[in-house]
Amino acid sequence: MGWAHDNWRIGAAIGAIAAIAALDFLFPPPLDRYLDQSVVVYAEDGSILRPFLSADDKWRVAATPQDVDPNYIAALKTFEDKRFDDHWGVDPAAVLRAAFQNVSNGRVVSGASTITMQTARLLEPGGRGLHAKIRQAVRALQLERRYSKNEILSIYLTLAPFGGNLEGVRAASLSYFQKEPKRLLLSEIALLVALPQSPERLRPDRFPKRAHQARQKIIDRLLAENKITAMAAKEAKADPAINKRHAMPFRAPHLAQRLKAQNGRAVGTHINASAQSGLERLAARELRWFGDGGNLAILVVENETRAVRAYLGGADYWGPAGQVDLVRAVRSPGSTLKPFIYGMAFDEMPIHPATLIEDRPTLFGDYAPRNFSRNFQGTVTVREALQWSLNVPAVALLDRLGPQHFHTRLLRSGVALSYRGRQLVPSLPMALGGVGTTLSDLVMIYASLADDGHVAPLRLVPGKVSETPSAFRLISAEASWYVADILRQSPLPDGLAQGQGFQRGRQIAFKTGTSYGFRDAWAIGVSPTYTVGVWIGRADGSTRPGRYGRNEAAPLLMKVFDLLPTEERTLAPAPASVLHASNNRALPPSMRRFMPKQTVEAANSVPLQVMFPPNGATVSLPSASDSDGLALRSSGGAKPVRWLIDGKLVTAATARNRTYWRPDGEGFSTVTAIDAKGQSATSHIRLIAP
């Protein structure tokens, strides 16, 4: 009988253990509130750029013991749970002490909740009394079995209430003290220990006197426990009372919003916190001078790594259309693409900065570009044409290169280009801003001028080198050097030439631009270390008469460079293959004067033409039995010829030396032929059912 009785007790014990384990497995501690944390975007130094509210509208910034002043952790344990590091979630000694004190006084004067039990209550709010305490005790045992003391403390430090929608010690410290809790004053520690006792009744922003008194009591308690000296207590008590709540950090808000949408979790960036703060203060000052609803965007990139060091998507986030990220808004680039037309021309034509080129009234088909000043300069050097941003020379060079060729090279480098209205394919006006792109993409390609013509994607967040796409060579090292050398000698913005501007130990190659109707003012600058882009305009794209890149964006560009750290890098030497020529006569004869496309074509080739389908024709759709489709035929030009339909390359197979295209259905289409030299010819047709 004794043997059977012992077996029954053993079986009962095993059954009880199994039941407890099963219940623990079936009903784990609910972590939903803890996991619903504020998404936080950080600067490179670990400081917060911008936190976001949790899904239940709390400032719940994740915190670990490593994020908090050790003196705060020690004070918290002294006041809340002296044996936190030793018990299993429930402290029997504290339970006996509380029971004795409460019975002796005939009322509740002391509690026995451990930090782990309080953590259980924070994870699963609701309910009071004995049943709630029992549930918290059971949950505390579960937490201790599943998690380390550090992990439990992290949950508490993240969820502890501090008044209003502030949860967690980091959110409280940021809001009440405007700093992270890594280094806290004794008076600040005392306030943070006191607030969770009654967070609404003690809110410093609503009841500063109560909060102050609660803080003083914690200081007295720490003194009584011999945790601080009398002198430290006296000094802490003399500190001013906290009586208001500050806004959460709010730097680079457009970038933070973008990264939150992409990641949905805490994310680090390459942002230089000091440069970002300086940039935002500068932008706020500049915005006051506009007075016409203008806004601005600024992007700063480190050339060597392509890391984005400062990002301003707009100067007034809460203003009209303020949440539009103007760094990524598609705008007309004005003349800012011109340097890359010249760069490709240096690579693909016999020209040099000292080559002579004409700036005279010229008709390119039905297109007659004019300069911003409405005047023409006559015969100038290529260097002067780019420095003065003359329009006819840039269009003439693009005419020789071929707009489609220029477009394709930019696309391959990662630049997104947008065409609107009837102009669905690249054309000559893109040299003067007749295409859409973004500040981000412009800065990306300008950074190539400091890297031998290599374009690489901009880096917003830290990542492995292997995760960074390889660079694309947009122009050669020689062409890149020519362009940068020309732009470093561009005329200074008005007001910066007298002892200011570039006479600051920083050599900057810069280009300005203004879009049609004064809608966009641009300035992009490249130093040995940084590339900076500035856009100024209205978010709705409306005109701002009299505001252009040179008089508005360029001065701001120089101020941004002044905010950046001193540069250690110097200008790279010219590539060995660069041709140094002091004047035009020092050039080889073939490079002394630029020959326009019309002259070259007249001398060397028959112009490219679309023979079928002819321009303006109405064409019947091919029948189902016609397996090839419509034959596309051209004449003249240099072979091979490529075909685009409505701006998209025809990928259909060729047969019998012809390219065939099968239309999707009825409607209007634009057929474009492009030869090996970049010449293009276009035919606009209508397709109908047979």
Q: What is the set of active-site residues?
A: 80, 335
φ/ψ of 235, rounded to 5, equals: -65, -40
d(CA 173, CA 162): 10
Q: How many CB atoms lie within 10 A of CB 66?
A: 10
d(CA 18, CA 12): 10
Which ranges constitute the DSSP H helices of 225-359? 230-238, 253-263, 273-290, 338-348
DSSP annotation of 226: T
From residue 654, how far is each of 94, 608, 632, 661 by CA, in Å? 88, 19, 10, 9
Greatest CA separation for the chain: 121
Residues in CB range of 76: below 8 A, 6 or more apart: 115, 193
d(CA 20, CA 3): 26
Tell me which H or E stretch contains 611: strand 609-612
Single out the residue of 428, 430, 395, 398 nearest to residue 415, CA to CA. Answer: 430
Report CA Rg, the chain: 35
Q: How far out from the chain centre does Cα 181 lie?
A: 27
Give residue 434's identity as a one-letter amino acid code.
Answer: G
Strands (E), 79-171: 166-167
d(CA 547, CA 530): 26
Helix axes 70-80, 208-224, angle to 10 degrees: 80
The DSSP code sequence of 517-577 is GG-EEEEEEE-SSEEEEEEEE-TT----TT--IIIIIHHHHHHHHHHSPPP---PPPPPTT
Three-state secondary structure call for residue 347: helix
Which ranges constitute the DSSP H helices of 160-266? 169-177, 186-194, 208-224, 230-238, 253-263
Single out the residue of 342, 309, 345, 301 nearest to residue 455, CA to CA. Answer: 301
